[in-house]
Amino acid sequence: MLVTGASRGIGAATARAFAVAGDRVAVHYASRREQAEEVAAGLPGDGHAVVGADLADADAVAAMVDAAAGALGAIDVLVNNAGIYEAHPIGATTYAEWQASWARTLGVNLVGAANVTWCAVQHMLAAGRGRIVNVGSRGAFRGEPEHTAYGAAKAGLTSFGQSLARELGPRGIAVMTVAPGFVQTDMAADYLAGPEGDAIRAQSPLGRVATAGEIAAAVLYLASPEGAMATGTVLDVNGGSHLRM
């Protein structure tokens, strides 16, 4: 199985969860190769791989997925976890900054994930089975002020997954999305440690944010044989911080 953005946070926790379950994992990184190698070295079992690519580079994505498949012998599970989260408040950025931030965010979070998926699906189709779990966000449904490209990308990723679930179901491939709120990771550390941290935790009736391990457990279930009937669905794992019908 292949996990993108697995050098830290949710991706690293997901890699560990699958390895504990007995899977061989390809740990993807964009720039943190040393951290990805540390994650892979710490996984139980053997046969794991480390693969790198800038997900905004379509050619690099294709080479990365093929390298993962070559190292593992197959790709039966893909977890699209990699993402960037950068602020671009519409009233405080220049037009050039606005365009650049949108291009970077969609290039990784949506188009990059779509390209990884296309490449991985070719291997799944050959085997006649597969699971794809997209790591979305509650921001796809409640909005992401000052991070509009992120919210838009996650909404697009959710729709992308639902469309593929309908297209690929007859081919033995299930596609789902897990939608966390804030998670205790390096990416969120500054927000959670800053003056807004208490307010963020108070958004949940549980009074806290999720751990990366809790998100990984949800991904593991969705990718399991028992999770097949969840294809096309979105599993909210946000501690009740955002509720929707």
Strand partners, 184: 211
Q: Which of 85, 95, 150, 191 is catalytic?
A: 150
Of how many residues is the chain composed?
245
For residue 91, give every residue at least 6 positions away whose Cβ sits within 8 Å of its Cβ, in sequence order, or none. Answer: none
Helix H or strand E segment including 183:
strand 183-184
Instruction: Output helix, strand, coil percentages for the chain, rounded to the nearest 5.
Output: 50, 15, 35
State residue 28 phi and psi, 5-degree precision.
Answer: -90, 145
Active-site residue flag, 150: yes
Looking at this protein, which amino acid is placed at residue 140?
A
Q: Which two tokens stand for residue 26?
A: 């390809």
Q: What is the DSSP letter of 90?
A: T
Catalytic residue set: 150
